[in-house]
Structure 1
Amino acid sequence: NINKMCHLARGAHDCVCFLNVCFAYTSRHEISNAVKEMAWGVEKGLIKPSDISEFLLEKCLYTSNSPDPELLIRTSGEVRLSDFLLWQTSYSCLVFQSVLWPEYSFWNLCEAILQYQLNHYTLQRAREVHREEQVLEQLEADRSCVADLLQQDGTGNLLDSQSKKDLLQKYTAEREKRIHCFLNILQEKRNNFFVELNKNSLASAKA
């Protein structure tokens, strides 16, 4: 058991590859949990309410260490996602096939890949547009926060455009630093959860 724990400890910070296994998973729970994590960060003073954004929510999802899927295949003739990766598949190619999973063949996979290839450009362009919109929305949010700060100080009309630009860059850097620290603490919090879960499992096995 000691050797096993040492091995787990050594691999705790490996981040070359990630395997996502979903047990008792629903996307609605994942999204609501991400919102709770952001609220926890605000409560602890790690981030500000103005730091909350679509980007930050994505980083608080369970799958934040992995890219969004480009292709999602649903078998058995069901034309629904069944509360699976609802957020992550917003710009994915969704392929619904009538074949049951045990009978899924190479040719079924070829059909799915062909559908993905036919829709790849449209999906890729939609993702790029969405990223551009995220950047613009964040820039506008930062500008609004800086304007509010200047209004509170009463110095908004006294600064030239370059000084305001410098303040905006400073605020953006501070926000990114806050978010980076928050996400590191959140990851450590989740790692500790699994460590405690493992300890409790070992204790239960011994009992």
Structure 2
Amino acid sequence: MTWLVEKKRTWAEWVVLRTLQVGPVPTHLAIIMDGNRRYARRQHQDTLTGHTQGFHKLAEMLSWCRDLGITHVTAYAFSIANFKRSKQEVDGLMELATEKFEELLKEQEKMDKHGVRVRVVGDLSLLPARTKQLAAQVTLATRNNTRCCLTLALAYSSRQEMTAAMEAMVEGVGQGHLLPSDISEELLEECLYTSSVKDPELVLRTSGEVRLSDFLLWQSGFSCLYFTEALWPDMTIWHLFGAIFYYQRHHHTLVAARQECLTQRQNAVEERDVDCCRAQHGDNVTQDHITEYTAARTARIAAFIDNLTHRRLTFLQELACSGDE
């Protein structure tokens, strides 16, 4: 199975695809790939076969997204809660993930040619040794590709992600790299695993379940949510067309709500800077004081984020070499 599927579109598919591209198309699609087990039961197959079909469908979905112009895809591959499933299923899924990471590394030349970046996010320490080593190697091997990005959420939960971000900020304050007043929504976002890509405009879930299941809870605050009855292995390009059309119908409202939130957030930051300056200078605050404080805060945060990014990169490099002698 190749991760870069090249499939010819029918005439009807191209017509609809080009028509949809006249309107707004999301650049970041997040997917909750649900229904693999039900698909397997319906086909009278074992559970792992259903998950294998799910991986094949993800590769096919990436080709649809590429044709539509969707440059970022985040897929919910395995949640922390999934570790509660039977040992046989969990072990099978980890072996399957390991196999797919090996395939990705074998296709690195092709990935580089197409500019595909692959990121694996989550609490990688929970994964088996070989799986997390390969996940780190894939992330590092493709980190300089910029044309499109596939993010795999593995051993992931949004609450764990936000907790890790909060812990990083608390540590930054404790070590003197940040001031308590530096803590903000913007900084929390910078500390999330997904900070290097924009929030998803569209979140798609298959199998008829109408919930997010602890997936990108922070990032999807202003996303369009689309739920389909189709099981994940049964997804077709027409289901994706339906999701894009639904997104276009609600695009204006979503953009307006997001912009209003960003404006309010920026105003809150500016007001906090003024308050901090008043605490230092009393009623003699001038614009120069505010400008100086804002520049210092920006520099502190930038240095903190650079350090956090370096630490996470070092962690990946250590994981990637963890099995080598």
After TM superposition, is the score higher than 0.5?
Answer: yes
Which stretches in structure 2 are left out of the alignment for 5+ residues? 1-136
C-alpha offsets along residues 131-176 of structure 1, whole Å, 9 cap, x if unaligned? 101110000110110011113xxxx3xx3xxx61110011001000
Q: Which has the higher strand share?
A: 2
Q: What is the CA-CA distance between 1:19 and the residue it aligns to?
A: 3.4
- Matching residue of 1:133: 264
Which stretches in structure 1 are left out of the alignment for 5+ residues? 1-6
Preserved contact between residue 72 and residue 94 of structure 1 (Cα < 8 Å): yes
Q: Which amino acid in 2 is paired with 1:169?
A: T
- Matching residue of 1:3: none
Structure 1 residues 37-52: aligned runs within 5 Å:
37-52=168-183
- Matching residue of 1:4: none
Aligned partners of 2:143 and 2:242: how far apart in 1?
A: 38
Aligned partners of 1:200 and 1:12: how far apart in 2?
A: 19
Aligned partners of 1:198 and 1:72: how far apart in 2?
A: 31
Q: Which amino acid in 2 is paired with 1:54?
A: E
Q: Which amino acid in 1 is paired with 2:304?
A: F
- Matching residue of 2:191: 60
| Correspondence 1:164 to 2:291 | no
Aligned partners of 1:76 and 1:66: how far apart in 2?
A: 27
Q: Which amino acid in 1 is paired with 2:220?
A: T
Q: How many residues are aligned here?
A: 187
TM-aligned CA distance change 1:108 to 1:116, over 3 Å: same
- Root-mean-square deviation (CA), in Å? 1.9
| TM-score, scaled to structure 2 | 0.55
Q: Which of 280, 297, 305 lines up with 1:175 in the alignment? A: 297
| TM-score, scaled to structure 1 | 0.85
Preserved contact between residue 18 and residue 65 of structure 1 (Cα < 8 Å): no
TM-aligned CA distance change 1:69 to 1:167, over 3 Å: same
Q: What is the CA-CA distance between 1:12 and the residue it aligns to?
A: 8.2
Q: What is the CA-CA distance between 1:81 and the residue it aligns to?
A: 0.4
Aligned partners of 1:185 and 1:14: how far apart in 2?
A: 19
| Correspondence 1:107 to 2:238 | yes
- Matching residue of 1:14: 144
Aligned partners of 1:118 and 1:200: how far apart in 2?
A: 48
